[in-house]
Amino acid sequence: MDFKMEAAKAIAAAANMNIDEIIDIIEVPADTKMGDLAFPCFKLAKTLRKAPPMIAKEIGEKIEKSNMFEKIEVVNAYVNFYVDKLKFVSGVIGEVLVKGEKYGESNVGEGKNIVIDYSSPNIAKPFHVGHLRSTVIGNALYNIYNKIGYHSISVNHLGDWGTQFGKMIVAYKLWGDKEAVERDDVKELSRIYVKYHEEAEKKPEMDDEARSWLVKMQNGDEEAISLWKWFCEISMKEFNRIYDRLGIKFDSYAGESFYNDKMDAVVEEIREKNLLKESEGAQIVDLEEYNMPPCLILRSDGGTLYPTRDISAAIYRKKEYDFAKCLYVTALDQNLHFAQWFKVVELMGYDWASDLVHIPFGLVSLQDSKLSTRKGHVVLMEDILNSAVERALNVIEEKNPDLPDKEKIAEKVGIGAVIFNDLYNSRIKNVVFDLERMINFIGETGPYVQYTYARCCSILRKTGKEKISEEIDYKIITDENSMQVCRTIGQFEQKLIDAANKNEPYIVSRYLVDLCQEFSGFYDNNRIVGSDEDTMNARAAVVYAVKTVIKSGMSILGIDCPEQM
C-alpha cells in the first residue's frame, strides 16, 4: 500500500495541483507525534501568494478523508497524515513475506545501462589499503543500481600500460630474480619498483632508459611484451585473491592497454573538429575559456596520456553499452582530470558527455599517514584483511568459544567490518582505520549489524518460526515499538533510490544501523519466545522482516551475514 501516493492524491484534489509536484515535497517527520507523513506548504506561498499556515488550513478543510489514515490534521504550515496502523503493518510485513529478498527492488532504472568504473589497481604494484575505497564504493553502487532496476556493468580499468612498465622492466633487469618474483609475486615487484625510484633520484638517466623500454612495448618488441604480460599475470593472481575474499567480480577487465589501437582515431577526430592546438611541441585542447588548464592529448614525443585513453574508453563504452550513465569512482584529487576530459568530450559534440560522472572519495589512512607506493610506505590490503579477521576471531574466542565454524564466521565478520567502516560515512570524508573500533559488536559497526541479523536467526530458530504462517493477527503488532520497526522497514526502497541519486552507499549502511536500533527497542519491549501462539507468530513475522532486510542491505554493501555469532 502506497500511503505516500494516497496522501499526494488527497492533497492534489484539495489544492488542485499535480500529484508529481506534491509527492516530492511530502516528507517523513522526525517525530512521529507529528504524523507518519507531512506536507509542508512553504513552497506554495510564492505561487498562491498566501501565508503557508493559511494554505495548510485551506487544504485541511478541503481534503477528503481516506480509510488509509487514522487522522489528518493541520499544524501551522503542515498537513500531517497519521496512517491506519493495522493497514500499515499488514502492508509492510505482508510485502516482505511475499517478496522475500526481492523486497526493496524497484523499476526506476528499467531498460537503462549504467557503467561503473572502479577499483582499477596498477599492475606490478601491490593491492594496498588505498585501493579499498574505490573497490567497495564502486561495488556497493553496482549493487544499488541493480536493485533499483538498472543493468549495472562493472569495469576494472586496470593500470596495465604506461611509463611505469618501462621503469619496471629496467628495475627487473637490474635487480630482479624470476624465482623471487614467482615466490613473492607483487611484493617482490613492488620492492624493486621502490628501489628504482630511490636510484633514479641519483641517476636521472634511468628515466630515459625506462622511456625507451616503453617505446619498445609500443612497437611490439618481443622481450618487452613478454615481460609486460608476465607482470600482468603475476599481478592478477594477487588481485583476484583479494577480490575473492571481498566477494567482488567484474564484468570487464579492459584496462589501459585495451585502448592502444583505438586512440589514433580519437586523436584524429579531435583534430578534425579543430580542437587540437600545439603547445611547446605537445598537442592540447585549450580550456582557458572554461577556467581550466589545457587538457594534454599528445606529448611532444607523440605519446598518449591519461586523457587520451579516458576519452577513447568513454567513446568505446558508449558504443558498446549505450550507457545512461558512466560513473568513475576515483579519489577526490582527480577532480580536475575528469573535469578536463569530460569537457573535451562535450566539445567534441557528444551530448552524452553530461552522463559522465566522477564519484570522488576522500583519503584512507592508518595513523593519519597518507599512503605512498613509490616510497614504500604501503599498507597491503591483504594485511588489513588478515588483521581484521584475526581480531574478529579473538573476540569470538572470548565471547563464544564453542561456536561452530568460527574461523569462517571470523572471516565474514572481519572483512565485513572493514567494508562497513569504509561505507558508513559520506564517501568524500577521509577514512582512518581503527581495527579496535571496527571490530566492535556494540555501536555503529558492521559486526553490530551482523550480530542483529544472527540474533534474528536465533529467535526464529527458538520459536520454530523460520517459515512464517500466513495467518497473522496484525493487531498484535500495532504497538509503538512494532510500528517504528515497520516504519523503518518501509523506508528501504526509498533509501536505495536516494543512495543511487546521490551515489552515496552510506545512506544504506546508516539505514541498516537505524533498523537494528529500532529492532532492539522492539525486542526489549515485546516478548517473543514463550508468548502465546498468535503473539509469537505476529512478532516472529516482524523478526523475519528485519532479518530479510538486513541480509539484503548488507549484501548490497558487499557484506555476508553469518546466521550464528
Alpha carbons 2 and 36: distance in angstroms, whole number? 13
From 125, 358, 465, 551, active-site residue: 125
Q: Determine the average pLDDT of the residues in 484-513.
A: 97
Contact 231/176 with Cβ under 8 angstroms?
no
Write the pLDDT tens digit of every residue in 45-56. 888 889 999 999
Active site residue 151: no
In the numeric block, the cell 575559456 is attached to 289
DSSP string, 264-329: HHHHHHHHHTT-EEEETTEEEE--GGGTSPPEEEE-TTS-B-HHHHHHHHHHHHHHHH--SEEEEE
Q: Give the pLDDT band of residue 371 (cuts 50, 70, 90).
A: very low
**CATH tag for 113-272+305-369 (out of 3.40.50.620, 3.40.50.10420, 1.10.3720.10, 3.40.109.10):** 3.40.50.620
Residue 378 is predicted with a pLDDT of 66
Q: Determine the average pLDDT of the residues in 16-37.
A: 90
Pairing assessment for the beta strands 276-279 and 282-285 based on DSSP bridges: antiparallel
Contact 68/87 with Cβ under 8 angstroms?
yes
Reduced to 3 states (helix: H, G, I; strand: E, B; else coil), residue 28 is coil
Residue 46 is predicted with a pLDDT of 85
Nearest to residue 509, comparing CAs of 143, 93, 128? 143
Alpha carbons 14 and 4: distance in angstroms, whole number? 15
In the numeric block, the cell 573535451 is attached to 344
Active site residue 128: yes
Per the prediction, the chain carries an average pLDDT of 93
Active site residue 125: yes
Contact 520/452 with Cβ under 8 angstroms?
yes
Contact 167/192 with Cβ under 8 angstroms?
no
Contact 80/74 with Cβ under 8 angstroms?
yes
Residues 221-235: b if buried by 16+ CB within 10 A, e if exposed: eeebeebbebbbebb
Alpha carbons 396 and 413: distance in angstroms, whole number? 10
Is 370's pLDDT higher than 90? no
Residue 467 is predicted with a pLDDT of 79
Is 318's pLDDT higher than 90? yes
Contact 392/410 with Cβ under 8 angstroms?
yes
Alpha carbons 63 and 333: distance in angstroms, whole number? 52
Q: Determine the average pLDDT of the residues in 294-311.
A: 91
Residue 367 is predicted with a pLDDT of 59
Nearest to residue 547, comparing CAs of 534, 535, 562? 562
Is 316's pLDDT higher than 80? yes
Write the pLDDT tens digit of every residue in 159-179. 999 888 999 999 999 999 999
Q: Give the pLDDT band of residue 377 (cuts 50, 70, 90).
A: low
Nearest to residue 531, comparing CAs of 543, 520, 539, 523? 539
| Angle at CA of residue 289, ends 288 and 295, nearest 5° | 45
Percent of the chain whose pLDDT exceeds 70: 98
- Which of the residue ranges 31-35, 374-378, 393-397 would you say has the lowest mean pLDDT? 374-378
From 4, 85, 131, 358, active-site residue: 131
In the numeric block, the cell 583519503 is attached to 363
According to CATH, the topology of domain 3-83 is Gyrase A; domain 2 (3.30.1360)
**Domain boundaries, given as residue ranges, for the chain:** 3-83, 113-272+305-369
From 4, 85, 128, 547, active-site residue: 128
Is 189's pLDDT higher than 50? yes
Nearest to residue 504, comparing CAs of 229, 85, 138? 138
Is 376's pLDDT higher than 80? no
Q: Which of 214-223, 278-287, 457-466 has the highest mean pLDDT?
A: 278-287
Is the pTM above the cut of 0.75?
yes
Residue 445 is predicted with a pLDDT of 96
